Amino acid sequence: MLVRVAHDPLRIYAKWLPDGAHAGQEIIYDESRRTDEMYGHLGGIMNAMPLWTSLNGALARSQSNHQVRDLGTEYIARQYLEEGKKYIEAGLPRSTQIEVKTIDGVRVLALTFETPTGQPQLYAKKETLGLDLRHPYFRTVESYDNEGRIFERIVFETITPKTFDDSTFDPKKRLINSNAGPARS
């Protein structure tokens, strides 16, 4: 995915890249326009009609455990802090394993947390968070269920600070197939 995030107000543009299952899908979220909806279209042959849809609807949840507002490194940091409190309550004040790894060409300090309780009290029974060794943010997250199977893997391949103008988050200017006009679901 290509993701562009701006803050104050939170605005997100995401496009699924050509080599994935949802190739061509695009969405825009702008909390200053609509706090509970995103605008977008599906990829493939279904990309002809962009529409406004709920952040919690079928389209939003068809391929993710998260809302569009969760895209970006800030969510990972917040999740780490929130789950960290739960880890302490579960008797796990620090990571169970620490190692330096290279994941998709990026060297990270991998911090693994595994609790005796697991789900549903915690998001995952085991989590490995990769802290970038050159920059102050998490680059990777791997989440495992109670049986030890990975159910989520997030890798931020490239993070580039930029300034975006308003057209980056404007559905009328950004979305490829926006000529059909906004529809509501």
Tens of pLDDT, residue by residue over 130-159, are 999 988 888 888 999 999 999 988 888 888
75: left (phi over 0), alpha (psi -120 to 50) or beta: alpha
Domain ranges within the chain, ordered by starting residue = 2-70+160-184, 73-155
Quick one: pLDDT at residue 109?
A: 93
Quick one: pLDDT at residue 145?
A: 94
Give the separation between CA 67 and CA 75, rounded to whole angstroms: 10
Contact 108, 101 (CB under 8 A): yes
The residues of the chain scoring below 50 in pLDDT are 177-185
Quick one: pLDDT at residue 94?
A: 77
Quick one: pLDDT at residue 81?
A: 83
Residues 6+ away with beta carbon under 8 Å from 112 = 95, 96, 97, 98, 126, 127, 128
| Residues listed for the chain | 185
Give the separation between CA 168 and CA 152, rounded to whole angstroms: 28
Q: What is the pTM of this model?
A: 0.72
H-only helix segments in 13-156: 58-61, 73-89
Quick one: pLDDT at residue 147?
A: 95
Quick one: pLDDT at residue 63?
A: 64
